Structure 1
Amino acid sequence: MVKLLPLTPCAGLLPLEIGGITVTEVALERIYSVAPLAGKTMATSTALKEQIGLGLSAPNRATSNRSARMQWFGHRTWLVTAAVDLDELAAVTDQSDAWAIIRIEGADVEDVLARLVPIDLRAATFKNGHTARTMLGHMSVAITRVGGQVFEVMAMRSMAGTLVHELEVAMRGVAARSNF
């Protein structure tokens, strides 16, 4: 009998380091989408605050504590990295296997991402904790600044190879520019 082994979305693709930029995979145990029912947004936020210490984050923001992360994910939708009980308050859907999440960091990380992302990710406008749904190349992603020169990028699991390839090409381009 064949024994199946679980693999992460970026298994065999990462880590990657080019020109001082590193890309690593972020493996989260669980991710749930939370969509409050009509008229239940405040009650949902209160229940989340009681359960995991984080209420619903503001639009285009991500917050975290030691045990969980809350990320705005679009109109009336958030992602949370902890199990929650929101019966009759929100639709909660397990997204744990749906996403490839990478961390990209280094001194020229903004230059690398500027080649691929049509939004301004410079620190003056896209600060720590800011998050956006946007395009990276031709794929839809969520991108969050998690540190000074550190971003996390989420793409659908099926796009993991494309995500890594696009980043690698941009990283090589920025590194080549530095060699002249």
Structure 2
Amino acid sequence: MADLTPRTPCAGLLPFRAGDVRLTEVDAGRITSLMPGPEQAAALDAALRDAHGLGWPDPGRAALGEDAAVVWTGMDQGMLMGPAPDATLSAHAALTDQSDAWAVVELSGEAGPAVLARLVPVDLRPLAFPVGAVARTLIGHMHAGVLRTGPATLRLLAFRSMAGTLVQELRGAMEGVAARHGLDGAGSSR
């Protein structure tokens, strides 16, 4: 009989460390696409604040909370990450569960921006890309999202079908940066 045990997108691929940079898979909880209806952005903002304590983010930004985030993903588009959406949100936006569609990883360490400089055409250094900043961009040749969640932490979202390629690209860049800087621990899975 077939084994139908669910697997995460990066199962068996992570964690990985090279130098001072660590790559781990993140359980982002439920991921719900939010698309406000015409003239509904303000009402959705109020409903999000009432239900989840976070408002609708400005373009290129995310509202970050303890157990939830509302992340801008494009014009009149965002994602609620963490909890299931409160039922009141559906009066103001189209809601779509996308939890199984995404691979979510976290790159942590001071050299994280140097690693991503090899793959991402966006300046991700903390002064240019502060906590709460979001970019829809490319990681290598893959469409992806990048979110800064802390001073030395970047969360990366790519399509689940590209999880293996995402990890392979990031591992190669991590090893390259670690080797360039002569750091110990290049290429360890810990």
TM-score, scaled relative to structure 1: 0.96
Which residue is 1:62 aligned to?
Answer: 62
| Deviant stretches of 4+, over 4 Å | none
The answer on 1:96 being equivalent to 2:73 is: no
Distance 1:106 1:52 in 2: 30
The number of aligned residues is 180
Which residue is 2:84 aligned to?
Answer: 83
Query: 1:129 aligned to 115, 128, 132, which one?
Result: 132
- 1:89-117 CA-partner distances (Å, limit 9, x unpaired): 11000011000000001121111000000
Q: Which runs of 5+ in 2 are unaligned?
A: 184-190
Query: 2:170 aligned to 161, 167, 171, which one?
Result: 167
Does structure 2 conserve the Cα–Cα contact (< 8 Å) formed by 1:52 and 1:67? no
Structure 1 counterpart SS, 2:45: helix
The RMSD of aligned alpha carbons is 1.2
Distance 2:150 2:29 in 1: 21
Percent of matched pairs sharing the same residue: 46
Which residue is 2:115 aligned to?
Answer: 112
Q: Which runs of 5+ in 1 are unaligned?
A: none
Which residue is 1:157 aligned to?
Answer: 160
The CA deviation at 1:66 is 2.3
Which residue is 1:10 aligned to?
Answer: 10
Distance 1:110 1:66 in 2: 24
Distance 2:54 2:152 in 1: 25
Distance 1:28 1:121 in 2: 21
Does structure 2 conserve the Cα–Cα contact (< 8 Å) formed by 1:14 and 1:24? yes
Which residue is 1:144 aligned to?
Answer: 147
Structure 1 counterpart SS, 2:55: coil
Structure 2 counterpart SS, 1:28: coil
Distance 1:108 1:87 in 2: 41
Letter in 2 for 1:143: V
TM-score, scaled relative to structure 2: 0.91
The CA deviation at 1:55 is 1.2
**Could you say which structure has the greater relative contact order, defined with CA pairs below 8 angstroms and 6 or more residues apart?**
2
Which residue is 1:44 aligned to?
Answer: 44
Distance 1:95 1:45 in 2: 20
